[in-house]
Amino acid sequence: MIIGVGIDVAEIDRFAAALERTPTMADRLFVGRELWLPSGQRRGTASLAARFAAKEALAKALGAPGGLRWTDAEVCAAETGQPYLRVCGTVAERAAELGVSSWHVSLSHDAGVASAVVVAEGDPGGARARPDEEPRNAAG
């Protein structure tokens, strides 16, 4: 069952300017592996902008809660090049609360714009309450 869908776009030039203005920004947004291609070359700005859009889309798919850490979501690529998400920490906790068990992600960049769509899939009935949270009943 689809639990949430998120979409985001990022202007590549604007994203590049932000990275240039704030040299530590990339380290705050990305896990180290996200910055590099398998060949060892640094990933291009368009690719990074698409990964940033995926993280924004992921937050939207989770209901855009506050407190998510950018580096608790990693946009990875399978050997085929297909993107997938690896989550931990704050993102994994929110996903578990909602019953998310799998992700679908699509990235694109063209004509100066990067975009991403994220679909969170799972069983909301399988969601577990946090230890400090009262269980929810069906009457809500």
Instruction: Please indicate, yes or no, if residue 134 is contained in any of the structural domains.
Output: no
Backbone angles phi, psi at 107, to 5 degrees: -120, 150
**Token couple for 22:** 């704030």
| CB-CB contact of 111 with 135 (8 Å) | no
With cut-offs at 50, 70 and 90, classify the pLDDT of residue 127: low
What is the chain's mean pLDDT, rounded? 89
Average pLDDT estimate for 14-20: 97
Residues 6+ apart with CB under 8 A from 78: 84
Which structural domain, as residue segments, surrounds residue 106?
2-126
As a whole number of angstroms, the distance between CA 13 and CA 20 comes to 10
Instruction: Please indicate, yes or no, if residue 115 is contained in any of the structural domains.
Output: yes
Is residue 134's pLDDT more than 80?
no
Annotated binding site for Mg(2+): 8, 56
| Per-residue pLDDT, 130 | 46
Average pLDDT estimate for 116-130: 80
Instruction: Please indicate, yes or no, if residue 52 is contained in any of the structural domains.
Output: yes
Instruction: Please indicate, yes or no, if residue 26 is contained in any of the structural domains.
Output: yes
Predicted structure pTM score: 0.86
Count of beta carbons in the 10 Å neighbourhood of residue 63: 13
**Token couple for 56:** 């924004």
| Per-residue pLDDT, 38 | 84
Average pLDDT estimate for 2-26: 97
Annotated binding site: 8, 56
Alpha helices in 11-44 (DSSP H): 12-21, 25-29
Average pLDDT estimate for 48-62: 97
- Give the CATH number for residue 40: 3.90.470.20
Residue-wise pLDDT for 59-113, tens only, equals 999 998 888 999 999 999 998 989 999 999 999 999 999 999 999 999 999 999 9
| Per-residue pLDDT, 125 | 78
| Per-residue pLDDT, 39 | 87
Classify residue 8 by its DSSP letter: E
Instruction: Please indicate, yes or no, if residue 49 is contained in any of the structural domains.
Output: yes
| Per-residue pLDDT, 116 | 98
Q: List C-alpha distances in Å: 3 to 21, 97, 114, 120.
A: 37, 11, 24, 5
Q: How many domains does the chain have?
A: 1
Instruction: Please indicate, yes or no, if residue 63 is contained in any of the structural domains.
Output: yes
